[in-house]
Structure 1
Amino acid sequence: MKLVIFAILLAGLSYLLFPGLRGAARRRLPGRMRFVVACVACALFLLSAGASFILWMGSVSATAGGGHTDGAGYLLPLAGVSLLLSLGCGVAAYRCR
């Protein structure tokens, strides 16, 4: 479910950052606003990646010999996806600069 939310957020962000792809009749966001949106999205994705990784480390370290992570196996891939989205938003912010 969280990956679906991230996909929707990424689609909305790309809709805001790359207005040329949706037609010339629509008005573009000012360059400064696109930069701010990309920086905020980058920071939020980076915080999400960090929080997911810390929660995953806590769940893995809490296991007692059996190797069961109590269903927290999705946190590491979620942290990876968040980190990649953060990198993409950072590149978009650099290009908007």
Structure 2
Amino acid sequence: MQCPECEQGVVTKVQVRATQEILHLCQGCESLWLAAGDIGTEPFNSFTSYMEELGLPPLWSSLYVLEPEKITSPQAGKYLRSVGSMEAKRR
């Protein structure tokens, strides 16, 4: 799904490694939603602020990407594989 905030990035389902929480994160602007049904209907959160509130680093390496097929940039895919973010079990 295209991000309703930046209208350029793709919203991808991710899981926080430390908490196992499922989130929906824009690859472009890093807008974040807690539930898929909230995308475009509820205000977004900032990925950085959200992770800092949890006491975690606001880095993609803190996540598992649950929809690797939605990663559009070859560089991003290479990075996410290198940090183990694309090795998550599917839910």
Length-normalised TM-score, structure 1: 0.23
Higher helix share: 1
More strand per residue? 2
TM-score, normalization by structure 2: 0.24
Higher RCO (Cα < 8 Å, 6 or more apart): 1
Of the two, which has the highest radius of gyration? 1
